[in-house]
Amino acid sequence: MQQQFSATDAALSGFRLVREHLKTVGVWAVLMTIASLIVSIATIKLAGPQMAAMMELSAEPSTDPQATLKAMEGMGPLFLFSALYSLVIYSILLAGVNRLVLRPHDSAGAHLRLGADELRQAAVLVLVNLILLAAYFGLVIVAGVGIGIAVAVGGSAAGVLLGLLLGLGVLAAMIFLAVRLSFAGALTFDTGKVSIRDSWALTKGRFWPLLGSYFVAMVLAFVVYALLLVIIAVIGATLGGGISAMADAFNPDMSSLATFFTPAGIVRTLFSGTLSILVLLIVFAPAPTIYAQLRGRDVSETFG
């Protein structure tokens, strides 16, 4: 008989982690705020003019591809910096989430480290994303061939209909693959070795409850994100700039330090760490929580 888990409890595990580990979450939020501030300044310094050009192009009804490519010139260092930053930050934070759930007693340094566990999480992130990317391009190529055949045989109407169906099929296949690989991080952290294939085996026969849990978590994360963004916008507008300043919270102007650090921009920066960490916990806590339940672990120390 398969070990069972509560999809609803798992979906709410991020909120429970915040409640039971409030001090740890606070430390993470402060560190993430500092990191976000550094990245914002680096982004403006590396590609402020290009960001301004991109914002102008995005405001136009139709964009010339040549103009877009020209605006992106010189943004290579920024893309490289962003990729490395994301890999390092998410490796550390995802290892921290797994540590909170699977090793709650290992609390030194607010459950954050920079060692072998984090390196393995980085490897998992790279491998899983490469698998998803390869699968996506493979499915798109197959879909493109199918649409081409349908247009040749049945005309444009048949091509459009088949294109819609195949598009939905590609989306469904990508969701299925992502769910089946969702235990890779927890398995790797728990076993101490990079483990992708074992996630496929452990999620077998559990796709729908897993999908339900992850979907609820995503919806909750979106609600929290939207509410906090509105609060940030209102506070920023109150401090200066009026209603027009509220747009800064949703679409910050990163063309220069002066345009970025408006009253609304400062408020957004101060709250950015809290916002990021809350969304991270809500979205990523369910997978290790479900994994722990399937392994028969006692998570009372984690969730009280």
Query: What pLDDT digit, counting tens, does each position of 147-197 carry?
Result: 888 778 777 777 788 888 888 999 999 999 999 999 999 999 999 999 899
The model's pTM is: 0.87
Residues with Cβ within 8 Å of 79's Cβ and at least 6 positions away in sequence, in order, are none
Mapping DSSP onto H, E and C, the string for the chain reads CCCCCCHHHHHCHHHHHHHHCHHHHHHHHHHHHHHHHHHHHHHHHHHHHHHHHHHHHHHCCCCCHHHHHHHCCCCHHHHHHHHHHHHHHHHHHHHHHHHHHHCCCCCHHHHCCCCHHHHHHHHHHHHHHHHHHHHHHHHHHHHHHHHHHHHHHHCHHHHHHHHHHHHHHHHHHHHHHHHHCCCHHHHHHHHCCCCCHHHHHHCCCCHHHHHHHHHHHHHHHHHHHHHHHHHHHHHHHHHCCCHHHHHHHHCCCCCCHHHHCCHHHHHHHHHHHHHHHHHHHHHHCHHHHHHHHHCCCCCHHHHC
CA–CA distance from 268 to each of 7, 76, 273 (Å)? Answer: 33, 26, 9
Report percent pLDDT > 90 for the chain. Answer: 48
Per-residue pLDDT, 11: 92
- Given this model, what pLDDT does residue 264 score? 73
d(CA 220, CA 222): 5
Average pLDDT over residues 224-235: 85
Rounded mean pLDDT of the chain? Answer: 85
Q: State the Cα–Cα distance between residues 282 and 284, nearest whole angstrom.
A: 6
pLDDT given at position 186 = 96
Residue 1 has pLDDT above 50, yes or no: no
Q: Which residue has the tokens 């345009």?
A: 259
Q: Which range among 116-125, 145-154, 192-201, 249-258 shows the weakest confidence by mean pLDDT?
A: 249-258
CA distance 225 to 229: 6
Q: How many CA atoms lie within 13 A of 111 on its CB side?
A: 24
Q: pLDDT digits over 25-38, tens only? A: 999 999 999 998 88
Q: What angle do CA 205, 140, 83 make, to 5 degrees?
A: 85
pLDDT exceeds 80 at position 119: yes
User: Mean pLDDT lowest for which of 28-37, 70-79, 158-167, 243-252?
Assistant: 243-252
What is the rounded distance in angstroms from the CA atom of residue 304 to the CA atom of residue 149? 58
